Amino acid sequence: MTSNNGSREPRKLTGKGQATRARILEHAAELIYTNGVHATNNEQLRRAAGVSGSQLNHYFPTKESLVLAVIAWQAERVLTFHRSEQFAGFENLDGFRAWADFYVGYEHSYQEGCSLGSLASEIVKTDLDVHEELANAFDQWRAAFRGGIERMQRLNRISTEADPAQLANLLLAAFQGGTLLAQIARDVGPLKDALHAAIDCIETFTTSPDLVALQTR
């Protein structure tokens, strides 16, 4: 794969073509997560995905085009999960607690870390022109939290004194930092502490009706 600019325009594909492209992307994401961007090459990806060199070049003519697609693929997985019904749109504290409990309870959290965060740590070391897309992926993730906090304010569940953007940054930073520390320690404890501390901070802005509800549980 070369590092020249790849096209950012999506191609119209047949159903079979979409399946092949998705298979390549899934294996590319795994290889990049395991080996890093620089250590992932055409031959590894061809073998893993079971495609020919011409097929690989057809879907991803440059390394940059592949990395851009992997960013979008990883981001979509993260965003789809965070927008699922199980977190109730993050419009109450229980939604945020359910999110934290999922990762704390997931047995591989401290082993696998954050797929998007790991990808970001690899990409920032390269000279690939993909930083804007990477930043946009994290902006959308942050927006999922910020939107929930803004809805909580509209529903009078937290004070208008709370800064949704600041709290969204806190949540994302707690997750990224907590995940990294959990991987280093091989223990989920740092992630649990970071997430709970971030949610406790949001709770300090809770308005009286929710405080009463919390006290009567």
pLDDT of amino acid 123: 84
The whole-number mean pLDDT for each consecutive block of 10 residues of the chain, a chain of 217 residues, reads 42 80 91 85 92 91 90 91 90 95 84 84 83 92 96 96 98 96 93 97 84 45
pLDDT of amino acid 137: 93
pLDDT of amino acid 126: 81
pLDDT of amino acid 209: 59
- Determine the Cα–Cα distance for residues 166 and 158; give it in Å rounded to an integer: 14
- Determine the Cα–Cα distance for residues 49 and 20; give it in Å rounded to an integer: 8
Q: What is the CA 105 to chain-centroid distance, rounded?
A: 18
Instruction: Report how far apart, in Å, the C-alpha atoms of 159 and of each of 102, 105, 142, 202, 209 are.
Output: 26, 30, 20, 10, 11
Under DSSP, is residue 206 helix (H, G, I), strand (E, B) or coil? strand
Closest C-alpha to 8, from 55, 76, 53, 66: 66
pLDDT of amino acid 89: 87
pTM for the model: 0.82
Closest C-alpha to 79, from 137, 10, 160: 137
